[in-house]
Structure 1
Amino acid sequence: MLNIADTLHRWCREARPFALATVVDVRGSAPLPAGTSVAVDEDGEAVGSISGGCVEGAVYELCRQVLRDHGAPQRAWFGYSDEDAFAVGLTCGGELDVLVRRIDPATQPHLSTALADVVRGRPAAVAHIVDGPDRLIGSTLTVLGDGRVADGTLNGGPVGRAVADQARARLRAGRTARITLGGDADTCPERLSVFVHVAAARPRMLIFGAVDFAAALSQAGRFLGYQVTVCDARPVFATAARFPHADEIVVDWPHRYLEHTTVDARTAVCVLTHDAKFDIPLLRLALNLPVGYVGAMGSRRTHDERLRLLREAGVTGEQLARLCSPIGLDLGARTPEETAVSITAEIIAHTHRAGGLPLSQRTGPIHRQVREGEAGRSWSAAQEARMRSRSWVGEPGAAVQTVRC
């Protein structure tokens, strides 16, 4: 629902009832992820998309029906259809589970509170029950960025407390997710499936080294939604004029800044200095922090020497296995702009546990579903094993990559 937060916020301010259709589960290939919504108001105005056009007409009619009937939430399942050109189905071969419910802003002010925060760029999470006892289907709860629970239909009781705890956890992780909870008499006695929509603060991209590659990477990082910081110990290079796309310019020793700044599992650390006096203390610290990605630029020779120095500094083989070096995917990049694409492509693949291979060389669904708790960890088991067998840990047999130094 947060994909259409601006319009929903306006409708809530105008006390305009609407039907909200949300994708609560995706199987196989589908155009848009779970959590995407379509909304239809009582005048028939529609906003959003859940399938790129394949099933929008059917979802629109279901929304109109829910609005007319003032009834309980409705479920709809859409799968593949190729026998009839006019059949309702997904030509991409995926399957969507859609929940449609009526929203009356006058009786659910907590949604307006959440949407107002999202529109202003503040973090918030909205949880609603998508499976469980009929009386609870569609019930909602909002958690604000400071952890407070706004008024909702699930306030109080073991169910409300359990859902609020899960919403806070998803908000901290910064990820929309469907989770299962309950079945425990001491916490939440009823088995529930809860979808948590999350609008989190932007993840951080920390770029160390005020070089030309950093200027291009800061622009690419901001385009991807990161809050970008460029840090360098040299004030003559670390200037706002050289990095207009960065949110923050810091003049400090890289390891000293990293030691005192805030990071989390979504943070990407990109070390572009390829200078041992900066790299070694910085990477020694970064590889011991719970960040999502650590990459370092340099030639093969720089990389091998860097590994040697890191081992001498006490960095373990397990920690070195987290290091993406030389940084980026092998795209044949040469220019700073091409290199920025190479680096951000690796970060995206890392985040979604993808191998970075051409889609033409893969089988199965194009849009892979990352299980709850997997996002932000290392890549797939096969990719991690491949990384460990390469010069990430100083062993021979590294595959050829583009040298950028």
Structure 2
Amino acid sequence: MRELGTQLLRWHAADTVYALATVVGVRGSAPFPAGTSMAVDESGAVWGSVSGGCVEGAVYDLCREVIASGAPVRRRFGFSDSDAFAIGLTCGGELDVFVQRITAAERVAVEAGLDSRAAVAVVRDLESGAIATVGPEGAVGEDFDPAIVRLARAMLDIGAGGVRVVGCADRERTVFVTCFAAPPRMIICGATDFAVALARVGRLLGYRVTVCEARPAFADPARIPDAQEVVRQWPDQYLRSTPVDARTVICVLTHDPKFDIPVLVAALRLPVAYVGAMGSRRADRDRRRRLREAGITDDEMRCLRSPIGLELGGQTPEETAVAIGAEIVAVRRGGSALALSATDRPIHPVATDRRAAG
């Protein structure tokens, strides 16, 4: 939708009614990803594309019908064979396209989603056409059920999008969420065997994974295929020069004081979501003593998860990585880290995103 921002804002200023067609599902080979949009106004002017030409005519006609009726439409377009008059994708894939009319009632939400400076999730109800834009500070537009707003925030947090079904029975709603935000970062310090496994878990959880390693022999991208980047630099120097935010998680796996202490001093003073460090109980006691000698305060120390991970009883690097990933989820979402069978809290409580408190 943001690719059409300039034209949509012109239509809003002119009080123009238009239909917005959005790709909400892709299977197989298709020209454009989910979230791509095309818009058609009352006069028939068209902007954007949903298929690069294959089904544009049919989507255009749908847009004109929706403008006239006001009723949203969801339509699937599949493979078209050798029949020159067939409507479909010659590439062999399938597209789900959702078309809705945009009037004054929806413009506020659309405009909030068009702001290129903001990280937001745009939520559309695929039955009613209701639309809202959800950001860290709240929602603009349709008053969606709190469960949908929580889902949108969680998807925004990891930069994910797609069709989701929320609720059940007569409260079930199918929504499409488009997120305009880069995925959060996981910064792993130390290219150990544990880092190889944790990079895989981090990628599964939706993080953009960076491994920072000062030792040239270990800083080999081929060793850590699930990391989007491997940086050969002292970790504390890297942390002082790379962008982080309130979603960033930092995992120190070197368990070597000459690396650990400088990087943890830097990490514990950054506005990030999680800082964890690997090591034995004895190493942790020594680490905390050194950190206090380096000037780390009690408040800063309470943000340190060390020894890193939940107590799952794992032995292998892969099991340890699962324990670390589980702790990150629990800290960021406010989970108890207990078995669900041992609690009576709601399974899906209100999501949180906070730094750890000891």
Name the TM-score class by shorter chain.
0.5 to 0.7
Deviations 1:97-150 (A, max 9, x none): xxxx9615xxx6xxxxxxxxxxxxxxxxxxxxxxxxx9535752233545699x
Q: Distance in 2 between matches of 1:259 and 1:291?
A: 13
Question: Conserved in 1, the CA contact under 8 Å of 2:274 and 2:331?
Answer: yes
Aligned counterpart for 1:199 among listed residues 159, 162, 180: 180
How far residue 252 of structure 1 moved from its aligned partner, in angstroms, is 1.0
How far residue 363 of structure 1 moved from its aligned partner, in angstroms, is 1.2
Aligned: 1:136 with 2:105: yes
Aligned: 1:263 with 2:234: no
Map of 2:14 onto structure 1: none
Aligned counterpart for 1:103 among listed residues 100, 104, 110: 100
Once the two structures are superposed, the pairs formed by residues 24-63 of structure 1 within 5 Å of their partners are: none
Aligned counterpart for 2:310 among listed residues 311, 329, 333: 329
Q: Distance in 2 between matches of 1:168 and 1:346?
A: 22
Partner secondary structure for residue 334 of structure 1: coil
Structure 2, unmatched stretches of 5+, are: 1-21, 27-32, 39-48, 51-55, 73-97, 121-131, 140-150, 155-175
Question: Conserved in 2, the CA contact under 8 Å of 1:167 and 1:196?
Answer: no
Map of 2:7 onto structure 1: none
Question: Conserved in 1, the CA contact under 8 Å of 2:23 and 2:36?
Answer: no
How far residue 350 of structure 1 moved from its aligned partner, in angstroms, is 1.1
Q: Which amino acid aligns with 1:271?
A: V
Q: Which amino acid aligns with 1:362?
A: T
Q: 1:199 to 1:170 in 2, by over 3 A?
A: farther
Q: Which amino acid aligns with 2:36?
A: H
Structure 1, unmatched stretches of 5+, are: 19-40, 44-65, 74-100, 109-133, 150-162, 179-194, 388-405
How far residue 291 of structure 1 moved from its aligned partner, in angstroms, is 0.7
Partner secondary structure for residue 114 of structure 2: strand
Q: 1:199 to 1:274 in 2, by over 3 A?
A: same
Q: 1:148 to 1:332 in 2, by over 3 A?
A: closer
Question: Conserved in 2, the CA contact under 8 Å of 1:143 and 1:167?
Answer: no
Aligned counterpart for 1:9 among listed residues 36, 46, 60: 36
Q: 1:199 to 1:135 in 2, by over 3 A?
A: closer
Deviations 1:185-211 (A, max 9, x none): xxxxxxxxxx99533111111000111
Map of 2:69 onto structure 1: 70
Q: Which amino acid aligns with 2:256?
A: D
Map of 1:376 onto structure 2: 353
How far residue 9 of structure 1 moved from its aligned partner, in angstroms, is 2.5
Deviations 1:230-281 (A, max 9, x none): 1111001110121121111111111011111110011110000111111111
Q: 1:148 to 1:68 in 2, by over 3 A?
A: closer
How far residue 2 of structure 1 moved from its aligned partner, in angstroms, is 9.1
Q: Distance in 1 between matches of 2:322 and 2:221?
A: 22
How far residue 376 of structure 1 moved from its aligned partner, in angstroms, is 2.2
Q: Which amino acid aligns with 2:114?
A: V
Question: Conserved in 2, the CA contact under 8 Å of 1:177 and 1:197?
Answer: no
Partner secondary structure for residue 206 of structure 1: strand
Aligned counterpart for 2:217 among listed residues 228, 232, 236: 236
Q: Distance in 1 between matches of 2:230 and 2:239?
A: 13
Q: Distance in 1 between matches of 2:57 and 2:201?
A: 39
Q: 1:324 to 1:251 in 2, by over 3 A?
A: same
Question: Conserved in 2, the CA contact under 8 Å of 1:263 and 1:291?
Answer: yes
Q: Distance in 1 between matches of 2:24 and 2:347?
A: 22
Q: Which amino acid aligns with 1:9?
A: T
Q: Distance in 2 between matches of 1:207 and 1:42?
A: 49
Q: 1:297 to 1:215 in 2, by over 3 A?
A: same
How far residue 358 of structure 1 moved from its aligned partner, in angstroms, is 0.7
Q: Which amino acid aligns with 2:350?
A: Q
Deviations 1:58-103 (A, max 9, x none): xxxxxxxx95982388xxxxxxxxxxxxxxxxxxxxxxxxxxx961
Question: Conserved in 1, the CA contact under 8 Å of 2:191 and 2:219?
Answer: yes
Question: Conserved in 1, the CA contact under 8 Å of 2:189 and 2:212?
Answer: yes
Q: TM-score, normalised by structure 2?
A: 0.59
Q: TM-score, normalised by structure 1?
A: 0.53
Q: 1:279 to 1:360 in 2, by over 3 A?
A: same
Q: Which amino acid aligns with 1:71?
A: G
Question: Conserved in 2, the CA contact under 8 Å of 1:207 and 1:270?
Answer: yes
Map of 1:226 onto structure 2: 207
Deviations 1:315-360 (A, max 9, x none): 0111111111110111111100111111011111111111111111
- Same amino acid, percent of matched pairs: 46
Aligned: 1:273 with 2:254: yes
Q: Distance in 2 between matches of 1:170 and 1:2?
A: 25
Q: 1:177 to 1:231 in 2, by over 3 A?
A: closer
Map of 1:301 onto structure 2: 282
How far residue 378 of structure 1 moved from its aligned partner, in angstroms, is 3.3
Q: Which amino acid aligns with 2:266?
A: L
Partner secondary structure for residue 241 of structure 1: helix
Q: Distance in 1 between matches of 2:180 and 2:190?
A: 30
Deviations 1:270-319 (A, max 9, x none): 00011111111111110010011100000000000001111111101111
Q: Which amino acid aligns with 1:225?
A: G
Partner secondary structure for residue 237 of structure 1: coil
Question: Conserved in 1, the CA contact under 8 Å of 2:62 and 2:99?
Answer: no
Aligned positions, number? 245
